Amino acid sequence: MQGYARTAMLMALMTALFMGVGWLLGGSGGAVLALVMAAGMNVVTWWNSDRIVLSMQGARPATGPETRGLNHMLMELSRNAGMPVPALYIIDTVQPNAFATGRSPDRAAVAVTRGLLQSLSREELAAVIAHELAHIRNHDTLIMTVTATFAGAISMLANFAMFFGGRRDNPLGIVGVLVMIIVAPLAALLVQMAISRGREYEADRLGAEICGNPMWLASALTRIQRLASRIDNHAAERNPGMAHMYIINPLHAHGYDNLFATHPSTENRVAALQELARRGGGYRREQSSLRRSQRQSPWG
């Protein structure tokens, strides 16, 4: 229920911001039109979030004998997480990365890149998938898609105002137009980035529990960061608003925490996982289960 409440609050905040921009652009009629558009966007995004994101990133279903081991891994990790098995997709890019999407654990998907399968060990791959399962279980996937959709729509309205002019007879005058053009998209971006960065630490923690070893994920994050910073992800570059959904920023952003970063720094995330490993506890059962499964079936 906490995940649904957080989603509702986020939708309300983004809808209010969207209506405010509409009012500054077209008065009360613009606000009503923005409300109608926001309602439609909410419904479409909620119902089709998985298909929208997967299509934009060029993902295809992971089928065939070559992905049988990978699907088996996903089943084992989903069992450890106590959740339904999501659909599995492959993205044909050499940059190692992954993301999860979907409106709920019952309607979710995990997408991994071809480069991830080629670059990581079995333990590291298991940790990355566990991290994405954590996002699904925490209902982060719907939140991430909603924020990206609304941030993009608010920026679109601001660009429209820049070219055609806003409603200058509004009570705020020219200041209101400038707010619409500059501050509104910035506010939407800050909400999107703050939520994105905060959810990563929690997904790292829960993902470590699901796979059974925090150091597997720490090693995977370090390797992905090193390789992804040198390899382009063309699908992500075409749709930068979706960058926050990946486990590591695919756009080669700065590797340190700052106000506009889509992810916490990899060094900070690894340090938090190392602290989890030092504290220990709660990991042995899942790890031994996965090792037994590994002996029975090859993964990838």
More confident residue, 288 or 41: 41
What pLDDT score does 283 carry? 57
User: What type of residue is 151?
Assistant: A
Arithmetic mean of pLDDT, 275-287: 69
What pLDDT score does 18 carry? 72
Residue 286 known to be catalytic = no
Is 293 in contact with 75 (CB distance < 8 Å)?
A: no
What pLDDT score does 66 carry? 79
Q: Quickly state the pLDDT bin for 157 (edges 50, 70, 90).
A: low
pLDDT digits (tens, 9 = 90+) for 64-83: 887 889 999 999 999 999 99
More confident residue, 251 or 269: 269
Q: CA 65 to CA 137: how far, in whole Å?
A: 28
The residue annotated as part of the active site, out of 76, 123, 124, 132, is 132
Q: Quickly state the pLDDT bin for 109 (edges 50, 70, 90).
A: very high
Residue 7 neighbours by CB distance under 10 Å: 18
* Strand order across the 107-113 sheet: 59-61, 87-91, 107-113, 98-104
pLDDT digits (tens, 9 = 90+) for 25-65: 666 776 677 667 766 766 666 666 678 788 888 999 998 88
pLDDT digits (tens, 9 = 90+) for 168-222: 555 555 666 666 666 666 666 666 666 666 688 989 999 999 999 999 999 999 9
What pLDDT score does 255 carry? 44
HSE (side-chain half, CA atoms, 13 Å) at 156: 10
